[in-house]
């Protein structure tokens, strides 16, 4: 993550919204909208940190690059959302990523779940990408112009993540006995963390129109996942939901370890840049 520079030169064509642009905008979210942006940014950041572990470890070089690409997309979304959230309290994206403690993170438990084997990571990725696509494709109509703009950029990338995970679910589920066994196991381990994605939280009542009420995403998500599972000849796991609480800063045992690794360098050398 880097300091915004005020240069007018752009390296990439087009005029997609960059985190640097958000930092320079006049728009400041309310405290509640800032909190909502933390939800989205933290989900993307922690997922990216998990996916980054696969670099050099994926089954094939090409898949290594594919997972790294998805992780980088998520880091991009996290940078935008955290930059915007930080405008509510005069904090930078780096302040929020590296100098918050575990209870201050607002990510759901799903994204902090262990990678396990490749099939388990794909199962987690399937759920996340279907959820994020449903969410961002509605957030493009957010009454908050910045959140709408971030979602408009992110939804195209998440659309690709969705395709990537569906392709792999089909291949693993309909591949060999071993790949199918692992896909089912991965889906079963992932499923308890689905409910939390759609649990309503009082915060949403205070930001009318800027966000999307999580419970309204449940039906489209269920329809989307059902069509994937049908095509893959998989059953929806019949396992009870886990206790959530991520949106209130209550996390599973995994997040602390993720943060320790993610934050150690910035805390060791505060203010350092590279």
Q: Is 261 in the site for another protein (CB under 8 A)?
A: yes
The site string for another protein over 142-181 (x = CB under 8 A, - otherwise) reads ------------------x--xx--x---x----------
Q: Is 109 in the site for another protein (CB under 8 A)?
A: no
Min dist CB 151 to another protein, Å, is: 22
Q: Is 263 in the site for another protein (CB under 8 A)?
A: no
Q: Is 53 in the site for another protein (CB under 8 A)?
A: yes
Q: Is 49 in the site for another protein (CB under 8 A)?
A: yes
Q: Please pick, from the candidates 9, 12, 15, 273, the single residue that binds another protein as defined by CB under 8 A.
A: 12
By the 8 A CB rule, do 162 and 230 touch? Answer: no
In the bound state with another protein, the residue whose beta carbon lies nearer, of 223 and 265, is 265
User: What is the spatial distance between Cα 190 and Cα 2, in angstroms, rounded to a whole number?
Assistant: 34
The two tokens of residue 125 are: 């990725």
User: What is the spatial distance between Cα 250 and Cα 262, in angstroms, rounded to a whole number?
Assistant: 19
By the 8 A CB rule, do 226 and 220 touch? Answer: no
In the bound state with another protein, the residue whose beta carbon lies nearer, of 13 and 270, is 13
Q: Is 258 in the site for another protein (CB under 8 A)?
A: yes
Q: Please pick, from the candidates 1, 28, 98, 116, the single residue that binds another protein as defined by CB under 8 A.
A: 116
Handedness of CA 186, 225, 238, 179 (dihedral sign): negative
User: What is the spatial distance between Cα 82 and Cα 150, in angstroms, rounded to a whole number?
Assistant: 11
Half-sphere exposure of 130 (CA within 13 A, CB side): 26
Q: Is 79 in the site for another protein (CB under 8 A)?
A: no
The two tokens of residue 104 are: 């201050």
The two tokens of residue 145 are: 């112009």
Residues touching another protein: how many (CB under 8 A)? 28
Q: Please pick, from the candidates 33, 40, 50, 169, the single residue that binds another protein as defined by CB under 8 A.
A: 50
Min dist CB 175 to another protein, Å, is: 9
Residues near 184 by Cβ (< 8 Å), separated by ≥ 6? 173, 234
In the bound state with another protein, the residue whose beta carbon lies nearer, of 167 and 248, is 167
Task: Give 252: exposed, middle or buried? Use CB within 10 Å, 0-12, 13-18, 19+.
Answer: middle
Residues near 147 by Cβ (< 8 Å), separated by ≥ 6? 33, 36, 37, 84, 139, 210, 211
By the 8 A CB rule, do 144 and 29 touch? Answer: yes
In the bound state with another protein, the residue whose beta carbon lies nearer, of 230 and 261, is 261
Q: Is 99 in the site for another protein (CB under 8 A)?
A: no
In the bound state with another protein, the residue whose beta carbon lies nearer, of 199 and 242, is 242
Residue with tokens 């494709």: 137
- Contact residues toward another protein (CB under 8 A) are 12-13, 49-50, 53, 57, 60-63, 65-66, 69, 114-117, 160, 163-164, 167, 171, 254, 257-258, 260-262
């Amino acid at each position: 993550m880097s300091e915004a520079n005020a240069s007018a030169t752009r390296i990439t064509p087009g005029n997609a919204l960059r985190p640097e642009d958000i930092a320079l905008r006049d728009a400041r979210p309310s405290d509640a909208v800032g909190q909502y942006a933390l939800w989205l940014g933290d989900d993307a950041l922690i997922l990216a940190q998990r996916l980054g572990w696969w670099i050099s470890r994926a089954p094939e070089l090409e898949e290594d690059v594919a997972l790294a690409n998805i992780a980088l997309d998520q880091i991009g979304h996290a940078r935008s959302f955290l930059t915007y959230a930080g405008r509510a309290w005069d904090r930078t994206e780096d302040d929020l990523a590296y100098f918050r403690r575990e209870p201050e993170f607002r990510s759901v438990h799903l994204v902090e779940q262990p990678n396990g084997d490749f099939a388990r990571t794909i199962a987690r990725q399937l759920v996340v990408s279907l959820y994020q696509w449903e969410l961002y494709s509605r957030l493009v109509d957010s009454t908050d112009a910045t959140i709408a703009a971030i979602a408009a950029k992110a939804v195209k990338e998440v659309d690709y993540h969705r395709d990537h995970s569906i392709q792999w679910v089909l291949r693993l589920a309909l591949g060999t006995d071993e790949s199918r066994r692992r896909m089912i196991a991965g889906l079963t381990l992932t499923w308890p963390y689905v409910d939390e994605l759609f649990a309503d939280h009082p915060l949403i009542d205070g930001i009318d129109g800027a966000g999307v009420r999580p419970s309204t995403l449940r039906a489209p998500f269920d329809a989307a996942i059902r069509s994937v599972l049908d095509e893959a000849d998989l059953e929806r796991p019949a396992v009870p939901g886990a206790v959530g609480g991520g949106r209130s800063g209550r996390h599973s045992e995994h997040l602390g370890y993720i943060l320790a690794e993610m934050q150690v360098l910035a805390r060791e050398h505060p203010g350092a840049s590279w």
